[in-house]
Amino acid sequence: DRVRFDIFREKRTGFPEAVFAPGKSDEDIVNIVKAVGDVLVTRLPPDRAEGILKELGDIDRRIEYHETAGVLAARSGDPQFIGRIGLLSAGTSDIPVAEEARVVAEESGCEVINAYDVGVAGLHRLLDPLRRMHESGVKALIVVAGMEGALPSVVAGLVDVPVIGVPTSVGYGVGEGGSVALKSMLQSCSPGIGVVNIDNGFGAAVLAVKILRACSL
């Protein structure tokens, strides 16, 4: 009984319970998944997932593990469609963070239109995906970028919908750990980007979901 659950949170903040795996034992995770109805376990590397999936073998819910995203979902039903969002990543190394956002958003009822490795060093790769997203009627864009984190600035200069910037820890030298990408997004010359913590694909998805839900209030 070391862990209390925020069981009213879905109703209260518009989101299913999410459990951050680091700092919890495999046993903790198994217990939580068994105890809670709908739950997402994030930051779960493949080696840990394997054992946990075995332990959960006979549980009576849909269990899915998304490897690149590092997310395990245990759901009693399928999420209800709430709308569409776009999802961009600047580099290939940013994909795991983008995938965390994708899985969390999809498990919350979003349809996600994504385009990866479309960073600012080659702008010609960016325009087609943006057009496609625009035509699909996305109501928010999640833009994931490490290094100098310039992609959200460029995107927010081209589109109308809210842009959520997710800095990643991809980089080296002065960019190590993601602080350059983070600060670039906060200090963007394109106003109105909502920024989340470094590598926080989860938080970006939550914000996008809240936007979609608010739209249907």
How near is the Cβ of 75 to a second copy at its closest, in Å?
18
Q: Which is nearer to ligand AMP, 28 or 111 (CB)?
A: 28
Q: Which does 174 bind (CB under 5 to 8 A by kind): ligand AMP, Mg ion, a second copy, none?
A: a second copy
- Cβ 152 vs Cβ 185: under 8 Å: yes
The residue within the footprint of a second copy, chosen from 92, 128, 131, 136 (CB under 8 A), is 92
Q: Write the DSSP symbol of residue 202.
A: H
201 binds a second copy (CB under 8 A): no
- Binding of a second copy at residue 136 (CB under 8 A)? no
Applying CB under 8 A, does 147 fall inside the site for a second copy? Answer: yes
Q: How far is the CB of 100 from ligand AMP (least distance, A)?
A: 6
Residue type, 100: E
DSSP 173: G
Smallest CA-to-CA distance from 207 within 110, 115, 113 is with 110
- Cβ neighbors of 215 (< 8 A, separation 6 or more) are 83, 139
- Say whether residue 75 binds a second copy (CB under 8 A): no
Closest approach of Cβ 141 to a second copy, in Å?
Answer: 10
Residues of the shown chain interacting with Mg ion in the complex, contacts defined by CB under 5 A:
91, 117
Question: Which residue, 65 or 202, is less far from ligand AMP as judged by CB?
Answer: 202
DSSP 178: G
Q: Which partner in a second copy, ligand AMP, Mg ion, none is near 211 (CB below 5 to 8 A by kind)?
A: a second copy
Residue 103 near which of a second copy, ligand AMP, Mg ion, none (CB within 5-8 Å, type-dependent): none
Nearer to ligand AMP, 91 or 165 (CB): 91
Q: Classify 62 as helix, strand or coil.
A: strand
Separation of alpha carbons 205 and 118, rounded Å: 20
**From CA 92, how far away is CA 111, in angstroms rounded?**
22
Smallest distance, a second copy to C-beta of residue 41, A: 14
Which residue lies nearer to ligand AMP by CB, 90 or 133? 90
Q: Where are the alpha helices (DSSP H) in the chain?
A: 9-13, 26-35, 46-55, 95-107, 127-135, 151-156, 179-186, 201-215
